[in-house]
Amino acid sequence: ELRGCLLELSQDPHGTRVAQKVVEEAVRRGMVDELLEALPTQDMSSLACSVTGFHVVVKLLELLPDGMVEPLLETFCSNPKPLASDQWGCCVLKKCIDRSQGTLRDRLVDTITENIPQLVEDPFGNYVVQHLILMGEKRPTEYVTRVIDSLQGLMLDLCFQKFSSNVLEKCLQNSSDSDRNKIINELLNGSEKCPPSEAVRKIIFHQFGNYVFQQALEVAQEPQFSLLVEHSKQHIQDMVCRNLPPKEKKEKPADAQGGDLPVVSTADADALLSPVGSLSLEHAKRLATKLVKKYPALAWGLAPEALGLGVGGVAGWYCDHFSAYAQGDYAQGDYDAAW
């Protein structure tokens, strides 16, 4: 009775629940042919981008037997880019990746990989790329390597974009040491217009880039870790030692006409002079303080008072954080409480 209106039901906020139940029962009762006749493959692409219809498509992908799901997968594999960039289509495409096998999956992944530089900056496409990175029970997988290789030459710029910076974080978390080094080395190399130390400074104090930098420090091995420290240490220590403007209300001077002249605080002036996307001075200082406390190598030579520790707490903090380093690559001689 629902055969003629199942497609319409799938696109209705309430009818979609009925359509999903029909899919479940049709598969359970062996009525797949009748089901696919009521939901023709040629209509699946539009249904996949529907706020209600995509639930029905996902249900089909989950429940259809292997032999009968392939035509549906072929439909989506032939042109996955529009799906990847759609709010609901990206969910369908992720399910297609999971359900496909063999050469069909290879074709789908190949097409996605060709478009990765565009997808990582897309509000929805980036989730498809992250899905590739997180595929498989044992990581890293070959898919992570393919994602990273597709982004070579673009890493520095991608740090400053909201969605692509999330992808870079996932790559750093789930890749092999050799693939991580590809990302970290590119960040350290800077560009023709931006030397390494300046590039690192921009990343550290950028609203999105700082997360990539923190993740890089978290996973980096030698010599990349020491290089990250070398290029960032001075910038971080300068920020730790920087004084924040006092938070007090200032009197507004009157202009010649008796009106009020705008007063720009030190923090506002600092923000005006900073590149677009930079953290506020207060936020940047908190981040820098957090980093020197977490990574002792960033704190060498920094006055203890800059960390906001009282005299009684200074010695204990340095003992706790530097004792392990005194026996390793960062050995600086015996601990001296007066230092």
124 lies in some domain = no
d(CA 227, CA 230): 5
pLDDT in tens, 245-259: 555 544 544 444 444
288 lies in some domain = yes
Domain stop point among 85, 114, 143: 114
Which residue spans within 77-168 are E strands per DSSP? Answer: none
261 lies in some domain = no
119 lies in some domain = no
d(CA 287, CA 301): 18
pLDDT score of 323: 47
pLDDT in tens, 184-217: 999 988 777 777 788 899 999 999 999 999 999 9
183 lies in some domain = yes
Are residue 289 and residue 313 in the same domain, yes or no?
no
Are residue 285 and residue 138 in the same domain, yes or no?
yes
Are residue 165 and residue 187 in the same domain, yes or no?
yes
pLDDT score of 246: 59
Range of the domain at 87: 1-114
> Are the CB atoms for 165 and 158 separated by under 8 Å?
yes
Q: How many domains does the chain have?
A: 3
Are residue 47 and residue 104 in the same domain, yes or no?
yes
pLDDT score of 189: 86
Place of tokens 């096998």: 101
4: DSSP letter: T
Mean pLDDT of the chain: 81
26 lies in some domain = yes
35 lies in some domain = yes
